C-alpha cells in the first residue's frame, strides 16, 4: 500500500497536501521542513503528521525532494497550536505554519545561529527589588507556577505595579528552571522595558519583534527553542515561538488592538496565549489597566480569575479627571482658554504637561473657502490629511501622497484652508503661545527616523521638554513621572466612531493617557476637552472610572447582541468594481446551510466602501454560541471558495474581528 506524508505548503490550501516520502532514507518526522514540488515551483513546507495511507492514485502523487532538518523544528504541542489556530481562524494551514517560522527558515536556510549579532541579553538582577505591597503580593501568589493551567486577569490601575507582579512571578518560574514568554503590544516593546527586565532578572532574555533583521529573529527563535533563552519578550507573532521548558505566559496590555493581526492570518495573540497555556497546562497572566470587555466577561463567568490592583504603587495619588466644557468657550486653534490657562499654571509651577491628540498631520481636511471643495483621496472614500511640514496631502488609509494644490481644482480660488486639528497644528499653536517652553511632538511622523522615538522619549523623561504633545504613541505604557497635567484635546472624535468598539477604545485611551500623570510624588490632573460633557460615556468614565464604564458597556453589548455577549465573524470581500464584492457575498449567502442558529447580517458595503482603489463589502455573522459559528464556517467556507463569484473578488474571513470597518 502506498503511504503519503502530509505537508503544509504555502498557498491557499485549507489542509496539508500529500506527498510521497523521499526516495531514500526514513520518512521525515512531523515538524521537519521539506522541499517539495508545487505546480512548477519548488517550495519549503512542513511535515504535519506521520505517514498515512494514500487517498489519491499513486501516479498523480509527487515526491518529497529534500529533507531540510535532521530533527523536527516544531514539536507536537506547537504544531497542535498552529493546527488549532488554522481551524479556528479558518486560514490556510501553510500560511499559519509560515507565520510561526522566522523568514530564514521559511526560505529553507539552515536552522543554525547566523551572523555575529548575539540573540541574548544577559540579565544581571543588579537592581533592588521593591517590597511588594499587599495587593501585589496577592496578585503574584495567584500566579502559581507548576500548578497547572489558570488564566489570571490582573486589572491594575495605571502605575499600580503590574510589571512588578510579572517580574515576581517570572522570577519564581526562572528559579525552578522554567521559561517565560511575555507578549507585549507593538508599541510596548521599548528598550526601557527590556532594560528593566534585564536589571531585575538573572537569566537570558531573547527579544522578538518586527524591527529585527532576519538573522536576529532566527537567532532569538533558536534560543527560545533550544532553551538558551529564559525569558522571551516579543510582539504578537512571538506567541508561536517554540519553548523548550515553558512555565508561564504573560500578555501585557491585553486590551491592545495590535495583539490581533488585522490582515491575512487574523489571529489574536492574546486568545492564542490562553489556548497555549491550556494546552501546556501552565498559568497565563493577562494584565491591563483597561481590560478588554472580552476578558472582563470571561472573568465574570469564572473562566478567568481576577486580581485587582487598586492603589498606585509607591504612594502616588490617583489623577483627578475633569471634563472641560468647550461649548461657547473662546478657543485658539482648538485649545480652549481655560485649558491654555491651566497649561500655563502647571508650567509655572514647574510641572510637565502632556497633550494628547490621536490625529497626526496638520489638519484632517483641506477645504476650499470659496466653493467648499474638499481634497479627497482618489483611491479611498476618505479625505486627505494635510501635512504642512512636508507640504503634502497624505491619505492615512492607503498611504497615497500628493502635493498640495496651489488653487482649488473646482473654482480656481487660492483660499484653501486646513480644517480640524492634527498634532502638527497644535504644535505650531503651542509654539506661538508658549515660545520659550521646550516642546516635543511624538507621533508617527516625528519618529520616522530610526532611534528618533527613543531620543524623544529620553528628552521627555529627562524633563528637558516641558510640553509633550502626541498621539497614542505617547499614551501607552511609558512612565513620565514628572507629568502633572494631561490634556485630552478632543474626546469628541472617539464618541461617535462607526465601529461598535469605538467607545471601548476611547475609554481605554483616555484612561491610559490619564495614567501618565502624576505617577511619582506630584499629584496629577487630567482635563478632557469636549463639546459633549453630558455624554453618558464620559460621565461614567469621569465618575466611576474604567470599571464603571466597562460595566455599562458590557450591558450595552449584551442588549445589542454584540461581542462578547455573542460570537462574531465577518466575511469580507473586495474588488476593483463595485458590484463584484456584493455579488460574491450574495452568492455566499445563497449557499449558507439552512440548519444553523447563526445569524447573517448583510451583505452591506463596508463603512469605508472604497479603500486603496478597491470596493469593499461585508457580511456579518453572529451566534449565541461559539461552536455554532465554528461549525457553520467549517462546512460553509469550502462551498464559498468553490463559487464562480469567488474568482471575481478577493475574500477573507475574520473570526472575532477587532474592528468592523
Ligand atoms: P504598571 O506596570 O502597573 O504601570 P509598574 O510596575 O511599572 O506599574 O510600577 C509603577 C512604578 O511604581 C514603577 O516606577 C515601579 O518601580 C514602582 N513600584 C511598583 N511597585 C512598587 C512597590 N511595591 N514599591 C515601590 N515602588 C513600586
Ligand atoms: Zn473652490
Ligand atoms: Zn487613500
CATH code, domain carrying 620:
3.30.70.600
- Number of domains, the chain: 4
> What would the grid cell of residue 555 be?
450591558
Residue 387 lies in a domain: no
Q: Do 298 and 182 belong to one domain?
A: yes
Residue 256 lies in a domain: yes
pTM: 0.95
> What would the grid cell of residue 627 be?
461552536
Atom 23 of ligand 1, nearest CA residue: 132
Ligand nearest to the CA of 253: 1
Do residues 119 and 227 touch, judged by C-beta distance below 8 A? Answer: no
The confidence score (pLDDT) of residue 58 equals: 61
Q: Which residues contact 387 (CB under 8 A, 6 or more apart)?
A: 361, 362, 393, 394, 424, 445
Strands (DSSP E) found in 326-408 = 331-332, 335-336, 352-356, 365-368, 385-387, 392-394, 401-403
Q: Do 148 and 11 belong to one domain?
A: no
Q: Do 171 and 302 belong to one domain?
A: yes
- Check if 484 has its Cβ closer than 6 Å to any atom of ligand 1: no
The CA distances from residue 2 to 27, 52, 73, 544, in Å, are 13, 8, 26, 68
Q: Which residues contact 399 (CB under 8 A, 6 or more apart)?
A: none
Residue written as grid cell 502616588: 316
What three-state secondary structure class fits 647?
Answer: helix
- Check if 203 has its Cβ closer than 6 Å to any atom of ligand 1: no
Which residues of the chain fall below pLDDT 70?
57-58, 116-117, 477, 518-521
Atom 21 of ligand 1, nearest CA residue: 313
Domain end call among 313, 332, 353: 313
Q: Do 178 and 206 belong to one domain?
A: yes
> What would the grid cell of residue 357 be?
491628540
Distance from Cα 132 to the centre of ligand 1, integer Å:
9
Which of 156, 164, 194, 309 maximizes ligand 1 atoms within 8 Å of its Cβ, making it the mutation to test the pocket? 164
Strands 352-356 and 467-470: parallel
Atom 6 of ligand 1, nearest CA residue: 161
Q: Round to whole Å and give the CA distance between 636 and 624.
A: 18
The confidence score (pLDDT) of residue 107 equals: 95
What three-state secondary structure class fits 161?
Answer: coil
Q: Do 508 and 583 belong to one domain?
A: no
Ligand nearest to the CA of 289: 1
The confidence score (pLDDT) of residue 244 equals: 97
Domain end call among 520, 538, 559: 559
Q: Round to whole Å and give the CA distance between 602 and 596.
A: 17
The confidence score (pLDDT) of residue 466 equals: 95
Strands (DSSP E) found in 158-270 = 179-183, 204-208, 231-234, 246-252
Residue 640 has, within 13 A of its CA and on its CB side, a CA count of 26
The confidence score (pLDDT) of residue 32 equals: 97
Q: Do 481 and 526 belong to one domain?
A: yes
The confidence score (pLDDT) of residue 477 equals: 55
Ligand 1 atom closest to 165 (CA): 6
Which residues pair with residue 233 across a beta bridge? 182, 207
Q: Do 155 and 257 belong to one domain?
A: yes
Atom 8 of ligand 1, nearest CA residue: 161
Residue 115 lies in a domain: no
The confidence score (pLDDT) of residue 520 equals: 60
Atom 20 of ligand 1, nearest CA residue: 161
Residue 25 lies in a domain: yes
The confidence score (pLDDT) of residue 315 equals: 72
Residue 139 lies in a domain: yes
Ligand nearest to the CA of 415: 2
Residue 282 lies in a domain: yes
> What are the pLDDT digits (tens) for 369-409?
999 999 999 999 999 999 999 999 999 999 999 999 999 99
Residue 377 lies in a domain: no
Q: In this structure, what CATH number is given to the domain that contains residue 264?
A: 3.40.50.300
- Check if 162 has its Cβ closer than 6 Å to any atom of ligand 1: yes
Ligand 1 atom closest to 163 (CA): 6
Ligand 1 atom closest to 164 (CA): 6
Ligand 1 atom closest to 167 (CA): 6
Atom 12 of ligand 1, nearest CA residue: 313
Domain end call among 287, 313, 339: 313
Q: Do 633 and 526 belong to one domain?
A: no
Residue 524 lies in a domain: yes
Q: In this structure, what CATH number is given to the domain that contains residue 20?
A: 3.40.1440.60
Nearest to 252 by CA among 561, 7, 476, 525: 476
The whole domain housing 598 covers: 567-655
- Check if 470 has its Cβ closer than 6 Å to any atom of ligand 1: no
Ligand nearest to the CA of 373: 2
- For residue 621, the Cα-to-chain-centroid distance in whole angstroms is 23
Q: Do 59 and 132 belong to one domain?
A: no
Distance from Cα 661 to the centre of ligand 3, integer Å:
15
Residue 469 has, within 13 A of its CA and on its CB side, a CA count of 27
Q: Do 631 and 553 belong to one domain?
A: no
Q: Do 512 and 594 belong to one domain?
A: no
Strands (DSSP E) found in 377-482 = 385-387, 392-394, 401-403, 416-419, 439-442, 467-470
**Omega before 564 cis (within 30°)?**
yes
Q: Do 599 and 617 belong to one domain?
A: yes
- Check if 179 has its Cβ closer than 6 Å to any atom of ligand 1: no
- Check if 95 has its Cβ closer than 6 Å to any atom of ligand 1: no
Amino acid at each position: 500500500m502506498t503511504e503519503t506524508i502530509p505537508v503544509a505548503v504555502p498557498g491557499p490550501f485549507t489542509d496539508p497536501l500529500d506527498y510521497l516520502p523521499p526516495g531514500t532514507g526514513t520518512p521525515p518526522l512531523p515538524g521537519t521542513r521539506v522541499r517539495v514540488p508545487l505546480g512548477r515551483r519548488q517550495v519549503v513546507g512542513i511535515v504535519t503528521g506521520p505517514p498515512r495511507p494514500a487517498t489519491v492514485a499513486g501516479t498523480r502523487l509527487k515526491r518529497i525532494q529534500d529533507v531540510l532538518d535532521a530533527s523536527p523544528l516544531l514539536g507536537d504541542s506547537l504544531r497542535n497550536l498552529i493546527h488549532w489556530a488554522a481551524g479556528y481562524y479558518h486560514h490556510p494551514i501553510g500560511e499559519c505554519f509560515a507565520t510561526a517560522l522566522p523568514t530564514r527558515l521559511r526560505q529553507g536556510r539552515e536552522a543554525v545561529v547566523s551572523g555575529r549579532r548575539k540573540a541574548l541579553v544577559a540579565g544581571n538582577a543588579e537592581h533592588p527589588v521593591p517590597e511588594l505591597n499587599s495587593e501585589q503580593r496577592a496578585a503574584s501568589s495567584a500566579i502559581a507556577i507548576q500548578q497547572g493551567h489558570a488564566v489570571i486577569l490582573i486589572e491594575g490601575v495605571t502605575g499600580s505595579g503590574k510589571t512588578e507582579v510579572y517580574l515576581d512571578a517570572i522570577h519564581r518560574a526562572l528559579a525552578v528552571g522554567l521559561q517565560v514568554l511575555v507578549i507585549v503590544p507593538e508599541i510596548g516593546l521599548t528598550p526601557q522595558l527590556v532594560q528593566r527586565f534585564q536589571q531585575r532578572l538573572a537569566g537570558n532574555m531573547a527579544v522578538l519583534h518586527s524591527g529585527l533583521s532576519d538573522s536576529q529573529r532566527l537567532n532569538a527563535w533558536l534560543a527560545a527553542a533550544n532553551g538558551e533563552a529564559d525569558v522571551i519578550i516579543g510582539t504578537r507573532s512571538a506567541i508561536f515561538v517554540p519553548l523548550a521548558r515553558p512555565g508561564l505566559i504573560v500578555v501585557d496590555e491585553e486590551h491592545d488592538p495590535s495583539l490581533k493581526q488585522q490582515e491575512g492570518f487574523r489571529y489574536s495573540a492574546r486568545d492564542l496565549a490562553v489556548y497555549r497555556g491550556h494546552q501546556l497546562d501552565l498559568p497565563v497572566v493577562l494584565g491591563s489597566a483597561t481590560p478588554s470587555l472580552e476578558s472582563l466577561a470571561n472573568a465574570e463567568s469564572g473562566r478567568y480569575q481576577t486580581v485587582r490592583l487598586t492603589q498606585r504603587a509607591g504612594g502616588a495619588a490617583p489623577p483627578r479627571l475633569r471634563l472641560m466644557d468647550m461649548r461657547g468657550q473662546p478657543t485658539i486653534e482648538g485649545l480652549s482658554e481655560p485649558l491654555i490657562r491651566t497649561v500655563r499654571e502647571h508650567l509655572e509651577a514647574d510641572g510637565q504637561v502632556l497633550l494628547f491628540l490621536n490625529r497626526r498631520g496638520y489638519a484632517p481636511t483641506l477645504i476650499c473657502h470659496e466653493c467648499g471643495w474638499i481634497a479627497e483621496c482618489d483611491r479611498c472614500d476618505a479625505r486627505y490629511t494635510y501635512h504642512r511640514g512636508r507640504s503634502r496631502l497624505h491619505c492615512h488609509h492607503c498611504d497615497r501622497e500628493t502635493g498640495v494644490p496651489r488653487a482649488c481644482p473646482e473654482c480656481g480660488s487660492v483660499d484653501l484652508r486646513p480644517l480640524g486639528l492634527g498634532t502638527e497644528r497644535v504644535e505650531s499653536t503651542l509654539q506661538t503661545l508658549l515660545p520659550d517652553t521646550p516642546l516635543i511632538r511624538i507621533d508617527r511622523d516625528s519618529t520616522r527616523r530610526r532611534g528618533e522615538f527613543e531620543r524623544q522619549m529620553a528628552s521627555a523623561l529627562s524633563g528637558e521638554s516641558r510640553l509633550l504633545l502626541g498621539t497614542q504613541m505617547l499614551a501607552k505604557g511609558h512612565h513620565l513621572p514628572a507629568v502633572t497635567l494631561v490634556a485630552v484635546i478632543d474626546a469628541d472624535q472617539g464618541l461617535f466612531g462607526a465601529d461598535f468598539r469605538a467607545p471601548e477604545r476611547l475609554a481605554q485611551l483616555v484612561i491610559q493617557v490619564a495614567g501618565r500623570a502624576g505617577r511619582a510624588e506630584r499629584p496629577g490632573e487630567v482635563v478632557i476637552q469636549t463639546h459633549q460633557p453630558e455624554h453618558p460615556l464620559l460621565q461614567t468614565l469621569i465618575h466611576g472610572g474604567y470599571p464603571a464604564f466597562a460595566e455599562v458597556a458590557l450591558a450595552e453589548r449584551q442588549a445589542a447582541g454584540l461581542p462578547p455577549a455573542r460570537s462574531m465573524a465577518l466575511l469580507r470581500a473586495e474588488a476593483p468594481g463595485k458590484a463584484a464584492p456584493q455579488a460574491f457575498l450574495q452568492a455566499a449567502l445563497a449557499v449558507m446551510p439552512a440548519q444553523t442558529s447563526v445569524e447573517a447580517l448583510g451583505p452591506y458595503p463596508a463603512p469605508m466602501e472604497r479603500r486603496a482603489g478597491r470596493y469593499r463589502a461585508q457580511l456579518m455573522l453572529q451566534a449565541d454560541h461559539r461552536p455554532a459559528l465554528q461549525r457553520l464556517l467549517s462546512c460553509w467556507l469550502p462551498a464559498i471558495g468553490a463559487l464562480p463569484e469567488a474568482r471575481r473578488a478577493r475574500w477573507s474571513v475574520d473570526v472575532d474581528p477587532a474592528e468592523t470597518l
